[in-house]
Chains A and B, each alone.
Chain A
């Protein structure tokens, strides 16, 4: 179950976040985040519920606007892009949502086709079908192609959500709690899928979670989000090895080996 060493290019950061702040009303969720995601790396962001993990990746993908700080994705500062440029950039980023966010009025096939049909005008039927089959096979759910999202289990929905982002061959993947609400075995399968995606699609990923198994299994590097800042960062063992009274319970509680 131990993670294989991935080839990471430490000189080449695909995401750079500096001094990022975000507040809702009087509540400061993010209070100065600095983050670098290197080419080819799986970065796990750990944190309790409500610490602003989802807010962080929503800011990175331009869904929310930061109050202060800079966010640079694939060399482009997302605050300074026009709508069109932002759209073009987003196609290169895959976003797997916390609750999958499948379009529930469409079948699995239509869900997977949607990004393709919308972004590659004039694409042929045959090419669409091969792409759909390819990503479905990559997530191991070829048999669900004609089902509606409401007929899928939580784990299947997660996989289809991931497949839908893979169809555009993203360079960066953002996973929002990929294993939340799933049984331990399905969790492990999803973790393996995340590693497979990293290998096969050569993606750099941010994986947001509060599940330590997931962190250990998928992360090349771990960052601990607490009080709106990254408090500890490094290998799993390094982050784990602390006396901080607010971080330690997080690990004791999950006692994994």
Chain B
């Protein structure tokens, strides 16, 4: 068996009394870092080797899109609408309400669209990946797949991670457009700006870097959601409560990582401006 061993390391209990709790959580922490790391390495080793599971990847992309579409449409629209509405008074103080479209587009493209999409997908898609794989693990469906000659890591994990990595950028673009539409509705009602003028003003302040950064961000977020959900589910402990833990862990960990990644990428792009 020449695949990377991703059997989770379960640290042995430490037998000291003092600092025992602290030590245990420290070893747990590093053990899980190691485990996640080898899980990611295994993904890159297996995902790009034939046979490719195109059909299953497409199916998973569809699932990812369908699961989060309604919520993303609603949230995206409302974010755009509310953001425009709430920003107006501050700009009005300087008599600069004509800057609203630019402000909206910068806020949405640089920050809100990828972040909102990723957080919603973490809740909707990440948790269901965690629960799905978790229950497959618990009921031995993953083992059954393995003994019937299908590599479950490739078939279940690689396809889902690739699907979220591909789909989240598309969804984020969609969120951006729908928020800009929400912003337009508010601007139109208040200032009577025409659609053409609005679109011109929206895309004017955006640079190549903005688009690239948004794209990179959503790819990273998508990968994170997929890999965390799969990791939690694939390694879920036995018992029904293991499934719940996997689903919950998938959401919490993914959201936490998404914030850290957001900050890091924002910092890096600011060096390029």
**Chain A residues packing against B (C-beta within 8 Å):** 25, 58, 61-63, 65, 79, 81-83, 86-88, 90-91, 93, 95, 97-99, 101-105, 114-115, 118-119, 121, 164-165, 168
Contacts and interface: CB of A to CB of B under 8 A. Distances in A.
B87 interface: no
B48 to A, nearest CB: 15
B1 A95 contact: no
B148 A83 contact: no
A101 B149 contact: no
A118 to B, nearest CB: 5
A103 B146 contact: no
Interface in B33-51: 51
A97 B149 contact: no
Chain B interface size range: 20 to 34
B2 A83 contact: yes
A87 B141 contact: no
B139 A119 contact: no
Contact of B1 (A82, A119, A121): A82
A60 to B, nearest CB: 10
B151 A104 contact: no
Given A91-B149, A118-B150, A83 B3 contact: yes
A86 B3 CA distance: 12
Contact of B139 (A90, A91, A99, A118): A99
Contacts of A61: 147
- SS class, residues of chain B in contact with chain A: loop
B143 interface: yes
B148 A90 contact: yes
Contacts of B12: 25
A104 B140 contact: no
B144 interface: yes
Contacts of B146: 63, 90
A91 B146 CA distance: 10
Interface in B117-149: 132, 135-136, 139-141, 143-149
Contacts of B148: 90-91, 95, 114-115, 118-119, 164-165, 168
22 contacts: A25-B10, A62-B1, A63-B143, A63-B146, A63-B147, A65-B1, A82-B1, A83-B1, A83-B2, A83-B3, A83-B151, A97-B140, A97-B143, A97-B144, A98-B140, A101-B143, A101-B144, A103-B141, A104-B139, A115-B150, A118-B148, A118-B150
A132 B118 CA distance: 42
A25 B10 CA distance: 9
A166 to B, nearest CB: 11
Contacts of A97: 140, 143-144
B144 A118 contact: no
B251 to A, nearest CB: 21
Contacts of B1: 62, 65, 79, 81-83, 86
A44 B59 CA distance: 42
Contact of A101 (B3, B140, B151): B140
Given A25-B12, A81-B1, A87 B151 contact: yes
CB-CB nearest 5 A-B residue pairs: A101-B144, A101-B140, A115-B148, A95-B147, A91-B149
Contacts of A114: 148, 150
Interface string B52-73: 0000000000000000000000
A115 B2 contact: no
B243 to A, nearest CB: 12
Interface in B1-42: 1-3, 10, 12
Contacts of A58: 143
A213 to B, nearest CB: 25
A25 to B, nearest CB: 7
A67 to B, nearest CB: 13
Q: Output the residue of B2, B140, B149, B150 with the most chain A CB within 10 A.
A: B149
B140 A90 contact: no
B44 to A, nearest CB: 16
A82 B2 contact: yes
A91 B148 CA distance: 6
B130 to A, nearest CB: 15
A90 B144 contact: no
Contacts of B10: 25
B141 A104 contact: yes
Nearest to B150: A118
B147 A90 contact: yes
Contacts of A98: 140
Contacts of B135: 104
B41 to A, nearest CB: 15
A62 B151 CA distance: 13
Contacts of A90: 146-149
A159 to B, nearest CB: 15
A63 B152 CA distance: 12
Q: Output the residue of B51, B135, B141 with the most chain A CB within 10 A.
A: B141
